[in-house]
Structure 1
């Protein structure tokens, strides 16, 4: 029962409390003090008017209802109830209110920054800690949209929610003061206000539904947009962009329609709030005066508080509408964080790998969650400072083997032994640091050459020396020295300012800067023209003997000089040896060579 009530009325507070903690209570207390001080100050207007009308001092405090304790307090402090003393106390109360209001605003901004920073850090850390196999099952559009657009909604959602909390506190304070001044009148107004709220609850529920739907549409749009950018060349060359454009516009239209509906709901509520509440108050004033013989002075004081309450009813509904409009961002962020938690990669922190001196794959198999087996009983011994190549048709398991070797996947069966120790017993993070990974599509960040190679390391003398050594080994130092801004030259989005070969050598330099033991080239030359391919191949040949190297190759001419070639077929290593030995001893490898030479 308690859990049901909590989930219905306090689940959002519980969510924010989990990030901010007890400081939220302090924020609520500040609002409470602001409301009480403001209400007490307003209440003192009644005796001020009476003193101004009747004479120099106050004869009775009956027109303040149960709030007469304010005047009793002034007398208890030793002051007469004169115009000057009451005015001074009223001014003091409003000054104290101003101080607490400043503290309230300061604490709210501080907590907002703390909350947004914490949840964004949590999402970034969650992405960083995500297991690769789990990452493959995530929707990239959802990740992109949540980390960018939906994260912005969280900021507005936080502000709107706690504005709602504060307005609710102030609303309750003023209603409480209204009860103290005229109990019957306050009861009737509260009942009328409660009944009128049923209309608004309908629009709140519709707004919440549309907000969640908008977040889902945002995920779709980001996903389609990412694909449009990634496949721009193909879509442009084939004129398929006109068709794809219609799909993008269809999602945009749905987003616009949802936003319009939220705007209409907000406008309806904004236009109805004041008229409905004013009608309720006027009807009850007539009932009090004509049928219940209520005191006009206490009704006026109570009405002052209710007028104040009216302002906070309007602002409360407006801020809650703002929160509901952004609730999709909160839900999306929580869901993504939970996805990250479910797929978090676990590390054994006991034994760090400071250098890889030996690697053995022992009877390793790998099966995807859908049951598809990619690798079957693979055995391989990798000796230091030697070069190995994996070849075979597409789908033979080459890339999966490398992904397993580098630690992105773990064997479904069998073991990977590093330095005579089972890899499952070592720190995987330190293990991965010992690898350099050069892919078919070079990874280039929209920054300068130095930051691309060092990944934003400080430009210290030591780091600059490491940088120069890495670019020299990657054979790109002459190109960098020829540039006007040298290593400070920006490369543009995905390295658009440089050639494919230069991008590839920059990515090689990055891995060399890391000071690795094993270099992996995953079809690193297959996307290059013949001349550039030869330059990169010369670079690879120069690195042989200096690093342990693993090469996945499509063009067999690039692996003539390696120490061992492993031919893969349907997830198995079916033959291993030097290039010439495989040509003479294995018919399948020989046919592959002949076909490539023919082409």
Structure 2
């Protein structure tokens, strides 16, 4: 049913939306107009050729076939070819500038969108918007639009010349025009529907493939090959289904159009032959008539393709425009110069995701500089969401988060995040070198080599980096696959040391490490925590029992707080947690 619904949908975007999008891409209008003018000159030159051919044939004897006439015909041919070639290059330049501008525009927009957008959108779909949809717009501008302009001029010019040459023959030609239109329009509409559905299905399919390949280890470890094979086969079958629908329409369209064309040509040749026989028409004029007829037929065959591509472009315009209209992360605020980023305060904070189910309800707590506060509670109770709200990945529903008494909404986003360090259980590592990952997010020349070396030593990463053949220039692979969990954690900590954040957040930072790696990482974290406001999430109570304050979060509610000993005495569930881990 979903597929049928997509087939019936027509893009709500208009030509005006399409034009506005092109303007935002920084289209080179002067170059585009030049390309169109050159196309028109080439088209006009091609209209002269049949008239010269008529003159050549009708006066075919030794005296009339002059060098000047031959040179003129050759010159016109070359002129048409040269102008067509130059116009193709100019329009290709315009098209490449359009796709470059659009891709930069969309990518910059993606970088400014909130995390909530990516929670609801498959990464494959986003990639399809920036790669496939922009290509559709480029093709329409550089290939199909000029051919339609040229085709319209060719048809109009040819029809005018044909009526001048012989109005009776021209009227005969128009018998086939309604028949051609009757064939093209319904099949063209059907082709448009199928093409749009094929676009949507291709985006879905590429999104699913990207998701599967990005989690290939999950698939392998759980023997998910059969499930993924079936899922991919369904997508491939859908693509095959729409591809065969497209092929079926083409199977009707091509022979029908060929039949119409052949009928028109036969009528002209038959009637023209009779006229030549009775002396009312010259052979040269008949040949010229046929040449003009071909110049009319060829553009007609491209019009159906143009409208198909035009509808595709409107669909692409609509999808791109939806992205560009999406609300960006706010980056307003002026309160930052006097902030020390020492005291963090949650004041009756409540939050829910898009489904409206409360995740946090009236959470209030404080964390001060040189303090370590910890969050404990069952999985899914909302602990990690607290960190996401501090980073402003999401906005609170009610209440306020303050730093040094200033609402974080009044702090510029880049300033806020510059002063926050985050080390997670699964450290985010990108493809590239170890150096690239340690310096990730820093500005060119911001840190000296000595700063990098110090961060490596303080994070206890030097021990394993020095053992690598390429040291800091070692390629880590996609998402750091060539590194162990402990090595990735130490690189993440080195990155945090280099940034020197005022507020440090640790989310299960040692939970998945072996004993040796955990010692290195814990030593590095202990040093990193000095002199900062530290917030820790941990299931292992042994890592947080010395915290200045521990907050117990249960089902989005803060149900208790205090030191380890105070909570054991006052909080039943915390006591159960302690007994489960320590056995008493």
TM-score, scaled to structure 2:
0.85
- Secondary structure of 2:238's partner? helix
In structure 1, the partner of 2:86 is 103
Whole-Å Cα distance in 1 between the matches of residues 163 and 540 of structure 2?
A: 86
In structure 1, the partner of 2:29 is 22
- Bigger Cα displacement from structure 2, 486-495 vs 423-432: 423-432
In structure 1, the partner of 2:113 is 130
- Matching residue within 477, 497, 500 for 2:485: 500
In structure 2, the partner of 1:345 is 329
Q: CA deviation at 1:319?
A: 6.4
- Secondary structure of 1:381's partner? strand
- Bigger Cα displacement from structure 2, 6-15 vs 452-461: 6-15
- Secondary structure of 2:466's partner? helix
Shift in alpha-carbon separation, 1:550–1:228, aligned structure 2, 3 A = same
Q: Would you say 1:408 and 2:416 are equivalent positions? A: no
Is the contact between residue 342 and residue 533 of structure 2 (CA under 8 Å) also seen in structure 1? no
- Secondary structure of 1:348's partner? coil
- Matching residue within 228, 231, 234 for 1:247: 231
Whole-Å Cα distance in 1 between the matches of residues 377 and 28 of structure 2?
A: 57
Is the contact between residue 106 and residue 130 of structure 2 (CA under 8 Å) also seen in structure 1? yes
Is the contact between residue 373 and residue 547 of structure 2 (CA under 8 Å) also seen in structure 1? yes
Q: CA deviation at 1:489?
A: 0.8
Shift in alpha-carbon separation, 1:164–1:260, aligned structure 2, 3 A = farther
Is the contact between residue 153 and residue 330 of structure 1 (CA under 8 Å) also seen in structure 2? no
Q: Would you say 1:38 and 2:38 are equivalent positions? A: no
Q: CA deviation at 1:497?
A: 1.2
- Secondary structure of 1:450's partner? helix
Q: CA deviation at 1:553?
A: 1.4
In structure 1, the partner of 2:266 is 282
Whole-Å Cα distance in 1 between the matches of residues 113 and 418 of structure 2?
A: 17
In structure 2, the partner of 1:490 is 475
In structure 2, the partner of 1:548 is 533
- Where do 5+ consecutive residues of structure 1 fail to align? 1-5, 57-81
Q: CA deviation at 1:564?
A: 2.3
Q: How many residues align?
A: 566
- Where do 5+ consecutive residues of structure 2 fail to align? 1-10
Is the contact between residue 13 and residue 315 of structure 2 (CA under 8 Å) also seen in structure 1? no
Kindly provide the CA deviation profile for residues 516-569 of structure 1, in whole angstroms up to 9, marking residues without a partner as x: 322222222223234433332222111122433221212111113333222212
- Bigger Cα displacement from structure 2, 404-413 vs 546-555: 546-555
- Matching residue within 22, 35, 55 for 1:47: 55
- Secondary structure of 1:28's partner? helix
Shift in alpha-carbon separation, 1:100–1:419, aligned structure 2, 3 A = farther
- Matching residue within 363, 375, 379 for 1:394: 379
Is the contact between residue 161 and residue 320 of structure 1 (CA under 8 Å) also seen in structure 2? no
Is the contact between residue 386 and residue 548 of structure 1 (CA under 8 Å) also seen in structure 2? yes
- Matching residue within 283, 293, 298 for 1:311: 298
Q: Would you say 1:217 and 2:201 are equivalent positions? A: yes
Kindly provide the CA deviation profile for residues 329-354 of structure 1, in whole angstroms up to 9, marking residues without a partner as x: 87356415414522422321655568
In structure 2, the partner of 1:539 is 524
Whole-Å Cα distance in 1 between the matches of residues 537 and 267 of structure 2?
A: 83
- Matching residue within 252, 256, 262 for 2:240: 256
Shift in alpha-carbon separation, 1:529–1:187, aligned structure 2, 3 A = farther
Kindly provide the CA deviation profile for residues 90-126 of structure 1, in whole angstroms up to 9, marking residues without a partner as x: 4444444344223301211111111111222222122
Is the contact between residue 565 and residue 578 of structure 1 (CA under 8 Å) also seen in structure 2? yes
TM-score, scaled to structure 1:
0.83
Whole-Å Cα distance in 2 between the matches of residues 572 and 192 of structure 1?
A: 77
Q: CA deviation at 1:307?
A: 2.0
Q: CA deviation at 1:404?
A: 0.9
- Matching residue within 135, 143, 159 for 2:126: 143
Shift in alpha-carbon separation, 1:501–1:7, aligned structure 2, 3 A = closer
Q: CA deviation at 1:499?
A: 0.7
Q: CA RMSD in A?
A: 3.5
